[in-house]
Amino acid sequence: MTGAILAVSSALLLWAMLAGWLERHRITAPMVVVAAGIAAGVAAHGRVGDVLDAHAALEVAEIILAVLLFVDSSEARGRLLGGSPGLVIRMMVVALPLSVLAAVLVGSWLFPMAGWALLLVIACVVVPTDFSPASTILRDERVPRRVRDVLNIEAGYKDGVLAPVLFFGITLAAGTDRSRSVLGALADVALAVALAIMVGAALGLLFGAGVNAAEERGWMTTQSERMAVVAVPLLVFAVAHAVGANEFVAPFVCGVLFHHLRRRSERFAEGRRLIDDVGFLLTTQMWFVFGAAAVLALAGDVTWRSVVFCAAALTVVRMVPVAVPFWGPMFRGMKRCFWAGWRRVVHRPSSSDCLPSTCCPRRTASTF
């Protein structure tokens, strides 16, 4: 444990001191932290598996991912779907399902013995993407502003949208009863997700309106407003856990409504920067674990089928489905379509990187 803390803190400090120089050379914080994780994994190869299998690691991963989903939900600035709602809907309703379908089809070809439920889980793991390793893309003026805004909002919503699909596949694949029907698995997931939506919506409205009212009456300080933003996802996670709701969907739904209500506050941006920084720190911890776990994974058998599937997931599984909804008069030219597709080859450990420790859809365990 001491070695891991030393490695990740040293990597963060190194990145902090050289952030400007590293950014000019297209080296981001996740890259530095992954390298530190790999070094730690090599140094403690025999103990990595035991640490990742610990129950405490599971609980920490769940809390981190719940907070990250809350942070992601704040990406929709202004209206809930941003300034181009039609384009965001195209990405979420057309491109995202097509990407999942493409991943399942490629997986069925390469791994014919795997059931469709397991392939669906794998698809939900590899399809969600984000910009944390390549955030400079969203600041690149060569990418049209409209495209950058749409991709930013889609990146924030994708985990919450795919979470019910993921848990449906998990419940069906991990069920101990072989006679378990698809409808039975769907019912279990639907119950957990429905509870999560109700809990998240109720708490998002309650906390958003409550913080606004307290601010207007002068009951809050600048620091306390920032702390409130950090406390909300943790509180929602705890409530969802207590009532049996999905612990990822609830923070996401809460975040959408909470941030939407808080945008009228003059000090909203300051609180959002704090939760963004907290999310950044938590994301780096996930990247560190990813680097350490990669050493453990690569120590096993890596077949050509796995390599081909990974290559497909990083290219055609993402690029082609994203290009499809933009193939028309609104986005003429291949350049914009492929900017949208190429951005999706960057993956970040997210809520879709979690699998359940049991068949219960609300309990998750990191696949690291």
Q: Is the dihedral of CA 155, 157, 158, 163 positive or negative?
A: positive
For 361, list phi and psi in degrees, rounded to 5.
-70, -15
pLDDT band at 338 (very low <50, low <70, confident <90, very high): very low
In a domain, 8, yes or no: no
- Note the pTM of the prediction, 2 decimals: 0.70
Phi, psi dihedral angles at 366 (to 5 degrees): -70, 140
Closest CA to 119 of 276, 285, 313: 313
Cα 29 to its chain centre, rounded Å, is 17
pLDDT in tens, 7-50: 888 888 888 898 888 878 878 888 888 888 888 888 776 676 66
Domain assignment of residue 101, given as a range:
62-281+300-366
Over residues 324-337, the mean pLDDT reads 57
Instruction: State pLDDT tens for residues 128-165.
Output: 765 555 555 655 667 676 776 677 667 666 766 777 78
Pick left, alpha or beta for residue 341 (phi over 0 → left; psi -120 to 50 → alpha; otherwise beta): alpha
37 domain residue, yes or no? no
Residue 11 exposed, middle or buried by CB count within 10 Å (0-12, 13-18, 19+):
buried
**SS3 of the chain:** CHHHHHHHHHHHHHHHHHHHHHHHCCCCHHHHHHHHHHHHHHHCHHHHHHHHCCHHHHHHHHHHHHHHHHHHHHHCCCCCCCCCHHHHHHHHHHHHHHHHHHHHHHHHHHCCCCCHHHHHHHHHHHCCCCCHHHHHHHHCCCCCHHHHHHHHHHHHHHHHHHHHHHHHHHHHHHCCCCCCCHHHHHHHHHHHHHHHHHHHHHHHHHHHHHHHHHHHCCCCCHHHHHHHHHHHHHHHHHHHHHHCCCCCHHHHHHHHHHHHHHCCCCCHHHHHHHHHHHHHHHHHHHHHHHHHHHHHHHCCCCCHHHHHHHHHHCCHHHHHHHHHHHCECCECCHHHHHHHHHHHHCCCCCHHHEECCCCCCCCCEECC
| Number of domains present in the structure of the chain | 1
For residue 209, give Cα distances in angstroms to 215, 257, 275: 10, 10, 19
Domain-embedded: residue 322: yes
End-to-end CA distance of the chain: 16
User: Is 66 a member of any domain?
Assistant: yes
Q: What are the pLDDT digits (tens) for 64-119?
A: 888 887 877 765 555 566 667 777 788 888 888 899 999 999 999 999 888 888 89
Please report whether residue 48 resides in a domain. Answer: no
Does the residue 36 lie in any domain?
A: no
**187-204, pLDDT tens digit by residue?**
777 788 888 889 999 999
Is 79 part of any domain?
yes
Q: Is 104 inside any structural domain?
A: yes
